Structures are given as structure tokens and as C-alpha cells.
Amino acid sequence: MATPVVISKKIVNQKRNLQEFSINLEDIPNYSINSVDGDFLLQYRLKSWEIYQNLPMPTTMDEAWRRTDLRGLKPDTYVLKPNFDHPVHPPRNLFLPLLGKKQAGQIILIPGQGTTTTVDSSIIESGVIFADLKTAHKNYSHFLAQSLGQIVKAEDGKFAALASAMAEDGIVVYIPRGVHLKEPLHGVIWSPGQNLARFSHLVIWLDDDSELTYIHELSSPNQSNSQSFHAGIVEIYVGEGSHLTFIEMQSWGNDVWNFSHERARVDRDGRLDWIFGATGSHLTKNFSDLDLIGQGATAIMSGFYFTNKDQHLDHDTQQNHLAPNTTSDLLFKGALKDQSRSVWQGMIYVAPGAQKTDGYQANRNLTLSREARADSIPGLEILANDVRCTHGATVGSIDKEEVFYLLSRGIAYPEAVQLIVEGFFEPIMQRVPFAGVQRRFRSIIKRKIR
């Protein structure tokens, strides 16, 4: 018998004196003393900067951050411009359409290097906006001024404020009323760079009676002897009767400390299919909030993550039912290898008067080693009396009898584990009926298991 390992945890009184970022007011994009009164974007950034400065760095004493410790973060070491003496080219498959063969448009943003935009001219003629943030600022400033920062507020958190102030790289999407795009739009942010701090901002706005599938990819190479940083914002509005399928694939390199604030607002009879795939980063804290604001609004949230080595992924989800007859269904599934760790903290909130709400949340985890750990914390806060809300959370380890059964058929151990893990993810893949997404995820699982 092995002696049980006793882990004792010292309680350290953690003070709020974490390092601040070595970023100054002058580092704000397009900062200029003279234009302070003019441009709305600069105004927005300056206001966000002020909020950022007034917010403390989160610590594990803050409820949302209890399980994600930032003491290893070295914010005073980051650079704002990547060093491109040795540019790392993105893997080619990053740009391939993930859904079907054709795309209505693609934007590839490589911070410090440039932006490539390809877009079907017919959709632009129909009034669609699909542009990087700089171009949108130039060509669509009226729309941008009305939408930017409307859904995710700088006040939402330290990193939200920082990203609002600093993001120069971003993508802006607007789908006019009555436009139903059958082919997807694809945004890729590829961001190599040692010790780089990067910021991104995505705005997706669907006017009433419209339709869009959007793929949001964030990626960088694995980098050793580096700690780098990303703070990102995703804000989404789904208008009345509109349908958005939003797929985000996070495959940051192993040196990235990744923070994001995402919020989707779904109006009357709107529908959102929100898909999260997370396999990258050293550490992630992701806030994904859903606001169902109009009667009959529906959202399906499907997440999958696979962690290994010393990765730490923390997904914080909030399903806010703010109107009657709204439906939400969340399923997050994760597998964990080595000493990696995941946190899922979910909350279904039903506002007073949001009767006939149907809310569901479930998180299932599969640990592949004794050292891996998954924390799963569901929550309900219900202030209406005629609702149906349920939740479930499980953490299980890989079944030895399943492994033996597969071994007995000649399947070697790594493939046996891979099959079991793929089987575990199958229910979530059923909710993601896109072969390209499934293929991408499977190939990452395969690489990480070996």
C-alpha cells in the first residue's frame, strides 16, 4: 500500500500589493494630449484607463478569483510591441475554413505585423460591416461609437478596463436587419511575441431578423522562457428574432496568461449558439455572461476544454434570465491530464418576473491523472416562482475497466485513453455539428495525450 500523501496548505495572508502593469497613459493607442476632447474612441480609452487605475488587482480574496491565483503574474515585465527579428509564422491550418468549404470573409490580425482582410463584396453591398478595429474606426465610426463598450463595460473588472483602454487589435461585425449570411465569417488573431502584452476587442452586432455564424480564434505559438499576456473583450448583441452561432477557439501558447470578459445580450425571440473550445494558455480566467433580455430568447452554451502539464483554465459563466419565457442550456465538458487544473463556476440567475424560465447548466470533468484537479461549482439564484432550473456537476477519473477492455483488443494504452476521452467529449461534439471544429479539437487531444 502506498502511503497517502498529506498536503497541508499554509494560509498566507495575501495582501493587495500585487504588481501593477508597467503601462502608462501615453501607451494608450493614438494617445495625444491635443485630441482629448475630440475622438470618441480616445475618450472611451481614456475613461477605461481611469477605471482601470481605480480598480485593484484581483486576489483570491475576491469571490470570483478564489480559485485562480495571480501571484505568479509578472505584469511589470511585459512589452507592448513584439520583437519581430524572428517572426513565427502561423500554422497554415489556422486559416482554413472550419465550417464547410467557403467563408463569407476572413480577417487575420497579427499584432505588430498587420491585418489581412478578405471579404465577399456582395455582403458589404448588403450593408454588412466586417472590419478590423482600426478600419472600423476610420470607415464606420458612427456604428462603432454606438456599439463599443455597450455590452461589456470597463467597470466589469480590472482586465476588462485594461483591454478597453489598450485594445488596438479588434474586429467589428455588424449584420443589418433582414440579412441572413449562410457562409461564416472567420476572425483569427495570431500573436507571437516573447513577454508580450496583447489586447483584443471583438464586437458582434446582429440587427433584428438576421443570421450569422462567426468563428473567433485566438492563438499563438508555445514559447519558452517567456510569460506573456492577453486581455480580451467579446461583446455580442443578438437582435429580435436573430440567430447567431458563435464559435470561439482558444489555443494560446503555453506562456500566455489569458483574461477575457465576454457578454452576449439576446433580445426577444433571438437565439444564440455559443461554443467554447479551450486548449491553450498557461492560465485563463474567462468570464462569459449571457443576458436574455427579451421574451422567448434562447441560448445554448457548449464548452469543451482539454488541459495538460501545468495549465489552469478557469471559466466563469453566468446565465441571466431577465425576461419571461427565456431558455438557456449550458454544458461544459473537460478532460485534464498531468498536474493541470480547471475551474468551472456557473450561475443561473432568474430575475423577478422572469416567469416560465427554463435554465440548465452542467459541467462534467474527466481526470486522467491523480494530480489533475477539477473544481466544479454550479449555482442558482432564482427570484421568480414559476421556473424550471436544474444543474449538475461531476468529476470522475478514467475507468480502469474501460482501459483494460480496450487493451485486451490490442489497442495500446495511449490510443485507449484517447478513445475514452473522445467518447467522453462525444455528447458535446453532438452539439457542435461542425466537422472542422471537431477535427481541430480531436487533433489537439491526440497531440496532448501522447
Partner 1 sequence: MSELAINDLHVSVNHKPILKGVNLVVKQGEVHALMGPNGTGKSTLAYTLMGHPNYEVTKGEVWFKGQNILTLSPDQRAHLGLFLAFQYPVAIPGVSVANFMRAAINSQRKAANPADKGIPIPEFRKQLKQIMEVLKMDPAFASRYLNDGFSGGEKKRVEVLQMAMLKPEIAILDETDSGLDIDALRIVSEGVNKLRGPETGILVITHYQRILNYIKPDYVHIMMEGQIVESGEADLAIQLEEHGYDWLKTKTDIVMG
84 binds partner 1 (CB under 8 A): no
Out of 49, 276, 306, 425, point to the residue binding partner 1 (CB under 8 A). 425
CA distances from 235 to 16, 52, 95, 172 (A): 29, 18, 23, 10
Out of 123, 297, 406, 445, point to the residue binding partner 1 (CB under 8 A). 406
Out of 355, 356, 402, 444, point to the residue binding partner 1 (CB under 8 A). 402
CA separation for the pair 353, 294 (Å, rounded): 12
409 binds partner 1 (CB under 8 A): yes
424 binds partner 1 (CB under 8 A): yes
Nearer to partner 1 among residue 294 and residue 303 (C-beta): 303
419 binds partner 1 (CB under 8 A): yes
Nearer to partner 1 among residue 28 and residue 411 (C-beta): 411
Which run of H or E residues covers position 123? helix 121-125
Least distance (Å) from partner 1 to the CB of residue 402? 5
CA separation for the pair 50, 45 (Å, rounded): 9
Nearer to partner 1 among residue 343 and residue 362 (C-beta): 362
Instruction: Enumerate residues 6+ apart whose C-beta is below 8 A from 26.
Output: none
405 binds partner 1 (CB under 8 A): yes
The CA-based dihedral angle spanning residues 62, 283, 227, 50, taken in that order and rounded to the nearest 10 degrees: -40
End-to-end CA distance of the chain: 29
Nearer to partner 1 among residue 15 and residue 409 (C-beta): 409
Out of 16, 222, 426, 443, point to the residue binding partner 1 (CB under 8 A). 426
**Could you tell me how many residues of this chain bind partner 1 (CB under 8 A)?**
24
* DSSP strand pairing (256-266 vs 105-110): unpaired
Residue with cell 474501460: 402
**In the numeric block, which cell numbers belong to residue 188?**
483569427
Out of 38, 87, 423, 433, point to the residue binding partner 1 (CB under 8 A). 423
Least distance (Å) from partner 1 to the CB of residue 97? 24
Rg (the chain; Cα; Å): 22
Contact by Cβ (8 Å): 185, 158: no
Nearer to partner 1 among residue 178 and residue 396 (C-beta): 396
Nearer to partner 1 among residue 371 and residue 426 (C-beta): 426
Instruction: Enumerate residues 6+ apart whose C-beta is below 8 A from 248.
Output: 215, 216, 217, 218, 234, 262, 275, 276, 277
Binding residues among 382-401 for partner 1 as defined by CB under 8 A: 399-401
CA separation for the pair 289, 227 (Å, rounded): 28
Alpha helices in 35-91 (DSSP H): 40-54
Out of 13, 122, 385, 408, point to the residue binding partner 1 (CB under 8 A). 408
Nearer to partner 1 among residue 381 and residue 399 (C-beta): 399
* DSSP strand pairing (380-382 vs 341-350): parallel
Binding residues among 103-122 for partner 1 as defined by CB under 8 A: none
Nearer to partner 1 among residue 110 and residue 406 (C-beta): 406
Instruction: Enumerate residues 6+ apart whose C-beta is below 8 A from 10.
Output: none
208 binds partner 1 (CB under 8 A): no
Three-point CA angle 281, 292, 426, nearest 5° = 50
Nearer to partner 1 among residue 407 and residue 435 (C-beta): 407
Nearer to partner 1 among residue 358 and residue 415 (C-beta): 415
431 binds partner 1 (CB under 8 A): no
Q: Which of 313, 444, 309, 285 is nearest to 368 (CA)?
A: 309
Least distance (Å) from partner 1 to the CB of residue 398? 11
370 binds partner 1 (CB under 8 A): no
Contact by Cβ (8 Å): 279, 248: no
413 binds partner 1 (CB under 8 A): yes
450 binds partner 1 (CB under 8 A): no
Nearer to partner 1 among residue 9 and residue 400 (C-beta): 400
CA separation for the pair 331, 313 (Å, rounded): 16
CA distances from 71 to 99, 225, 257 (A): 40, 18, 12
411 binds partner 1 (CB under 8 A): yes
Site string for partner 1, 35-64 (x = CB under 8 A): ------------------------------
Applying CB under 8 A, which residues contact partner 1?
399-402, 404-413, 415-416, 419-420, 422-427
